[in-house]
Amino acid sequence: MIVAAIDLGTNTTRLLVGRVEDGRVEEQHRETRITRLGEGVDARGRLLPVPIARVRNVLSDYRRTAESLGAERTLLVATSAVRDAENGEAFLGEIEWSYGFVTQLLAGEEEAELTRRGVGDLGAESLLVDIGGGSTELILDGFNTSLSMGSGRFTERHGEDVAALEAAAREVLPELEPRDAVGVAATITSLAALDLGLEEYDRARVHGHVLTREGARAQLERLAELPLEQRRNVPALDPERAPVIVAGAAILVAILDAYELDAIRVSERDLLDGAALAAAELPEPEEGAAPPGAYTCC
């Protein structure tokens, strides 16, 4: 079955179209757009009109792409920004009505579990780290948690004060004793690309890269020293991620320091892959009335 999965995140809106067979996703198309849906949510508690418009434009493109590739099911999962916004569920109702996507608002634990499913098997003592724009998920054996810290949220709260960012991250970290770690999502994959010295981002080279604590610290210090306009021109770093990468890197370094982890192994498989597997389990789509809240969010 060909499915489409969309991750409606705080910083990015991502698409994966692939064939799901025997519990595995054979990727056909993957795309990421930085839409910053969570802009202002931490301060105002609402999704704002301009970020919503950015997301709508991207979803229109994604629907055309999914249809052209023959997707039979489309599942859109929403995370921190939508969870925290008072008009978040109404916005998801509009998405279902306007685009025909099945939507799911993930609680923090559901997000962590779907990420784990996307990554695949982990060792019992391996910590899975997912640093998003609005939240960070930590998964270790039977434990998982979603923390209210992310690259976008912490940038809005603390700017680029590295000491303040690291201190704020350490304050909310639970006591855990992992033996090693696996990292997913764009903060960590971007740092891996920089650590590799890539001129252009290369998913194949990033996947499986072992990013040392010293390497992560070196990239944090390098990025924090660069003015934003210079940071936008760093090879292999998406220019639109430059404004929040310092906060994301500080969160990662704080995690590695707190748990005395010498390194983290980077995975390109993540929440989006888990959502694709979940999309294949959806029932046959049906025509119906507008969902509750449609056309009322703004």
Q: Are strands 102-105 and 126-131 parallel, antiparallel or unpaired?
A: unpaired
pLDDT (average), residues 260-282: 96
Helix, strand, coil share of the chain (percent; to 5)? 45, 20, 35
Contact present, 15 and 66 (Cβ < 8 Å): yes
pLDDT at 18 over 60: yes
pLDDT at 288 over 90: no
CATH number for the domain that contains residue 130 = 3.30.420.150
CATH number for the domain that contains residue 16 = 3.30.420.40
Q: Let me know whether 196 and 92 are in one domain.
A: no
Domain that holds residue 259: 121-268
What's the structural domain count of the chain? Answer: 2
For tokens 């960590």, what's the residue? 188
Q: Let me know whether 180 and 69 are in one domain.
A: no
Q: Could you tell me if residue 170 is inside a domain?
A: yes
Q: Could you tell me if residue 168 is inside a domain?
A: yes
190's CB contacts (< 8 A; 6+ apart) are 201, 236, 237, 238, 241, 245, 248
Kindly state the DSSP code that residue 283 receives in the 8-state scheme. P
- Beta carbons within 10 angstroms of residue 187's beta carbon: 27
Whole-angstrom distance, CA of residue 259 vs CA of residue 125: 12
Whole-angstrom distance, CA of residue 10 vs CA of residue 132: 7
pLDDT at 278 over 90: yes
Q: Could you tell me if residue 285 is inside a domain?
A: no
Whole-angstrom distance, CA of residue 234 vs CA of residue 264: 22
- Residue 100, sorted as left (phi over 0), alpha (psi -120 to 50) or beta, turns out to be left
- For 96, the token pair is 């279902």
pLDDT at 296 over 60: no
pTM of the entire predicted model: 0.88
Contact present, 97 and 294 (Cβ < 8 Å): yes
Q: Could you tell me if residue 293 is inside a domain?
A: no
Task: Note the pLDDT tens digit of each residue in 37-66.
Answer: 999 999 999 999 999 999 999 999 999 999
Band of residue 109 on the pLDDT scale cut at 50, 70, 90: confident
Query: Number of C-alpha atoms within 13 angstroms, CB side, residue 199?
Result: 0
pLDDT at 297 over 70: no
Task: Note the pLDDT tens digit of each residue in 206-263.
Answer: 999 999 999 999 999 999 999 999 999 999 999 999 999 999 999 999 999 999 999 9
Quick one: how far is CA 243 from the chain centroid?
Answer: 16
